[in-house]
Chain A
Amino acid sequence: ETGVTQTPRHLVMGMTNKKSLKCEQHLGHNAMYWYKQSAKKPLELMFVYNFKEQTENNSVPSRFSPECPNSSHLFLHLHTLQPEDSALYLCASSQRPAESTDTQYFGPGTRLTVL
């Protein structure tokens, strides 16, 4: 689990704040992912980056803005969020995103609360 780290682990923000979530992978992987986990719901894929290029945006509202400056780092910039955006945000990485055998490895998540 230490292969993918996320900071901060907990974040409380108001609806007018701007904050960023950070993810770093130490596994030499080529793809990175953002997921949203809400209680008793399936994980929702938000964004995918392959080799630093965004390849998926799963109809995510524009108040979430991802950034991938290199293959080891991924950010999620947050602004004017809504209370329903409160959730656990998980980052994942994988090595061979074009192959069926590829496995995603997850970070511990950031627990976000929007007041």
Chain B
Amino acid sequence: AQSVAQPEDQVNVAEGNPLTVKCTYSVSGNPYLFWYVQYPNRGLQFLLKYITGDNLVKGSYGFEAEFNKSQTSFHLKKPSALVSDSALYFCAVRNSNNFNKFYFGSGTKLNVKP
């Protein structure tokens, strides 16, 4: 079975500090991993993805994520948080047997305080 876990409902960080939003996954087969962000009253926006290759993936708005196979994790990071990064973040894994199917985590609310 394939699934994604985001262990934190909410992450609070001060502006200018580094941020991490955690994601762990469970897949049978190769993991294809994604991060999306959702601002209030908006749809999900694609941030970055890991398919293969370099374990450190860089994405939009200065975000990056590190794929760690041994820990089955794909944590989202940013060196210096902005207030405008405050939003809901979703990790997702693609079903390796059915590429149409994504399994999303329940989301982590990021609050960046000035």
Contact = CB atoms under 8 A, between A and B. Distances in A.
B101 A99 contact: no
Contacts of A50: 100
Interface residues of A, number: 30
Interface residues of B, number: 27
A68 to B, nearest CB: 14
A50 B94 CA distance: 16
B99 A99 contact: yes
A10 to B, nearest CB: 10
B30 interface: yes
B90 interface: yes
- Which of B4, B34, B43, B90 lies at the interface centre, i.e. has the most chain A CB atoms within 10 A of its CB? B43
Interface stretch (B11-19, B44-52, B63-71, B72-80): B44-52
A106 B99 CA distance: 17
- Which of B34, B42, B99, B100 lies at the interface centre, i.e. has the most chain A CB atoms within 10 A of its CB? B100
Nearest to B100: A48
B100 A97 contact: yes
Contact of B99 (A92, A98, A109, A111): A98
Interface of A: 1, 4, 6, 31, 33, 40-43, 45, 48, 50, 55-56, 90, 92, 97-109, 111
